[in-house]
Amino acid sequence: MNEDSGALEEALGYAFRDRELLARALTHKSRAYEDGCERGHGDNEQLEFLGDSILGFVVSEALVLQFPEWPEGRLSRVKAHLVSARHLHEVAQQLRLGDHLLLGRGEELSGGRTKRGLLADALEALIAVMYLDGGMDRTRAFVQARIIGALTGDELVTDSATDYKSDLQQLAQSLHLPQPRYSIVEERGPEHAKTFLVEVRVGRDWSCRAEGLSKKTAGQRAARELLEKIAARES
């Protein structure tokens, strides 16, 4: 296993008692094959299967408890976003998970450390071994902190159910304004827990800034605020 696994544990906020479990969660099937393991042994595929189920349960539980008034359709949309490969990839990047993966030579040469599906799968495997090593309470805390985040209901809907960037683009076009331009104003915090400040501008007269745990989230929030500002002025 990567000798710098302590940095990963620090990013996760969890120290593993069983380090062989951690090593398996980080081992791609290409590496297990090169090491002479039989198919399904020594790699993280089974752990990914378990982690996927645990993640789905924990996210469903958290949403039902936090938003008891929401209908099933909204719960399903938000859950689909939170467990999606795109979102898990963003979380894995914040954790610098790719730096710690154990890959076969071919996968290494083909850029496996940055592949969306591979990183999302490894994060699910990590959730599984955290559960096996530390129990559900510790796993639930990690999922809440790093995958669900400290988001309000409105923010969850913003991140998952509505594309405010597209709405802003359409509004600008209908008002014969320049197309929105986005820029990263500032990045704050350590590599494994960054926040991003993004600014959106429409022409010279309209602009808004917003923060988020990812560039995408911050951009969506900035677009939402500018939409509301323009709509208020035009109404």
- Exposed, middle or buried, 205 (CB in 10 Å: 0-12/13-18/19+)? exposed
**Helix and strand numbers, DSSP H then E, in the chain:** 12, 3
Q: One of 52, 90, 133, 199 is an active-site residue; which one?
A: 52
- Exposed, middle or buried, 129 (CB in 10 Å: 0-12/13-18/19+)? buried
153 CB-near residues (< 8 Å, 6+ apart): 66, 67, 70
For residues 210 and 221, the answer to whether their CB atoms sit within 8 Å is: yes
Cross-strand bridge partners of residue 35: none
Strand ranges for the chain from DSSP E = 181-188, 195-202, 206-212
Q: Would you call 155 a catalytic residue per the annotation?
A: no
Q: Would you call 52 a catalytic residue per the annotation?
A: yes
Q: One of 107, 124, 159, 199 is an active-site residue; which one?
A: 124
The catalytic residues are 52, 124
